[in-house]
Structure 1
Amino acid sequence: MSENQLQRCFVLHRRSYSESSLIIDVFSEEFGRMTLLSKGARRIRSPLKGVLQPFIPLLLKWSGKGSMRTLRQAEPISLGLPLTGIHLYSALYVNELLARLIPSEVPLPGLFYDYLQVLTELAQSSNPEPALRRFELSLLACLGYGVDFLHCAGSGEPVVPTMTYLYREQKGFIASVRKDNLTFVGEELIAISERRFTTQAQLKAAKRFTRIALKPYLGAKPLKSRELFISQIGISRARSKGT
């Protein structure tokens, strides 16, 4: 598909530029993550003023070369997804992962579908955790992170549901008698492999694993979405106590 055609996109992040413009990071179905300059988008009468927002499905067209292109056309496909409370913070977390981790201008149509799926699940489900864990695993796969959840890295034997396995970075899971933050029960590894999270134990194990696996990619820089969520929890608790 040509860049001269309208592309399906979502805004991941936006920031002010000059007096009236915006710089937006978008996730495009055909071109991956792009950085676009939207001239005059912050003007009071700009038709784009309320359009270039996260979680609104968009059709965009841009032009130019280099690391930042110029936005030429933007049309909303539909209304923004209904995300509030913890579901909104979860979606902001997903956007931040994409903005920080996926390479620029590398087509990732499979991950774009996974992104649509996680936003849809977040808008519809009562518990955001299963959707987040599935998306994190998809993102890790796109980053080239490969690990065999179904076989012991030491013996090659199939994982036994009742046995304990120690995770070793870049190697996989090895049968172990240890029990700590780096160990997982075989049943948990099988559930992660199948992306099937029906119990709290499975969800906790999947979250523990994805945090371990994502840490080398994220580095020491904290996630703003997580800080914002923690801050909001503190405000909510203070209000409930009347302080």
Structure 2
Amino acid sequence: MAASNLHRQDNQPVYVLHTYPFKETSLVVELFSREFGRVAAVARGARRPRSAMRGMLQAFQPLQATWSGKAELKNLHGMEWGAGLLLLRGEALMCGFYLNELLLRLLLREDGHDALFDYYSQTLRILAQDQVLPATTLRRFELKMLQELGYAVPLEHDASGEAIQSGHQYVYVAEQGALRSSQHAAQANGVQLSGKALLDMAQDDYTDTQTQQQSKQLMRALLAHYLGEKPLHTRQLLMDLQAL
């Protein structure tokens, strides 16, 4: 969406992804907006102790924001609480920070992804309920995010267009897809996994232990490919905690 259409936006559904100091008393707030994607805005005076906005700039909480400006860095005028405040604790909290870092690294500015926004909101609620294995929740979000951002991750057909066979072994290569491992055993930059794991992922089924392990290896390799050389700080923290 053109910057001229972003001159003022009122009460837009958002989440705070990150904040950092700006000048003496202000903050730059990285927002994930449902309609406009990632938006950076200055919250003037937000570092002052009595700032009304300061206490609202919290990650993982549904908010409504009003901002204006034609430049890349907007002016944040106000925030309001959305519906259903969430509490993420312990491992779920670290997972939430991981999701935020992924979005900060991969989302383009002012590029709306409403389906991804809704899935992010749903994922936060799942983490807050603490009823699903965090690793499974992360795999689902990683895959959904890459698909929504336009990165092809074919799971039901191999690179030649043939249907994936559950009993076959494959080597998955970023931007190519699955290759029969018997024919491409020398693919050093690929991830070896079973056809069953690929089909399980396509069906959103992570109950099988091998699928859990191989899907983690696959998503780690794909994200490393698209993120480049700079590692994710939260990924390392999660690996140190429980190898998520």
Q: TM range, normalised to the smaller chain?
A: 0.7 to 0.9
Counterpart among 210, 220, 229 of residue 220 in structure 1:
229
Matched, 1:187 2:192: no
Counterpart check, 1:72 vs 2:77: yes
Query: Secondary structure of 1:144's match?
Result: coil
Following TM superposition, by how much is the alpha carbon of 1:78 offset from its aligned partner in structure 2, in angstroms?
A: 4.2
Letter aligned with residue 219 of structure 1: G
What residue number does 1:45 align with? Answer: 50
Residue 228 of structure 1, CA deviation: 4.3
Gaps of 5+ in 2: none
Tell me, what secondary structure is at the counterpart of 1:4?
strand
Identify unmatched segments of 5+ residues in structure 1: 235-243
- Normalised by the length of structure 1, the TM-score is 0.88
Superimposed CA distance per residue, residues 66-120 of structure 1 (whole angstroms, 9 cap, x where no aligned partner): 1100011111124642111111111000000001111000011011011011111
Q: Does 1:128 align with 2:134?
A: yes
1: CA distance, partners of 2:125 / 2:113: 19
Q: What is residue 207 of structure 1 aligned with on the other side? A: 216
Which among 31, 37, 43 is matched to residue 32 of structure 1? Answer: 37
Once residues 6 and 192 of structure 1 are traced to their aligned partners in structure 2, the CA distance between those partners, rounded to angstroms, is 37
Given that residues 147 and 153 in structure 2 are in contact (C-alpha distance below 8 angstroms), is that contact kept between their aligned partners in structure 1?
no
**How many residues are matched?**
232
Distance 2:237 2:157 in 1: 39
C-alpha distance in 2 between matches for 1:161 and 1:171:
19
AA partner of residue 173 (structure 1): A
Report the CA distance shift for 1:35/1:141 in structure 2 as closer, same or farther (over 3 A). Answer: same
The one-character-per-residue Cα deviations of 1:125-171 (angstroms, maximum 9, x if unpaired) are 342111111111111113321132112323x3321111101113322
2:174/2:225 contact within 8 Å kept: no
Q: Please report the TM-score for the alignment, with normalisation by the length of structure 2.
A: 0.88
RMSD of the alignment, in Å? Answer: 2.2
Further displaced range: 160-169 or 106-115: 160-169
Distance in 1 (alpha carbons) for counterparts of 2:238 and 2:158: 37
1:230 and 1:146 map into 2 onto residues whose CA distance is 26
1:20 matched residue in structure 2: 25
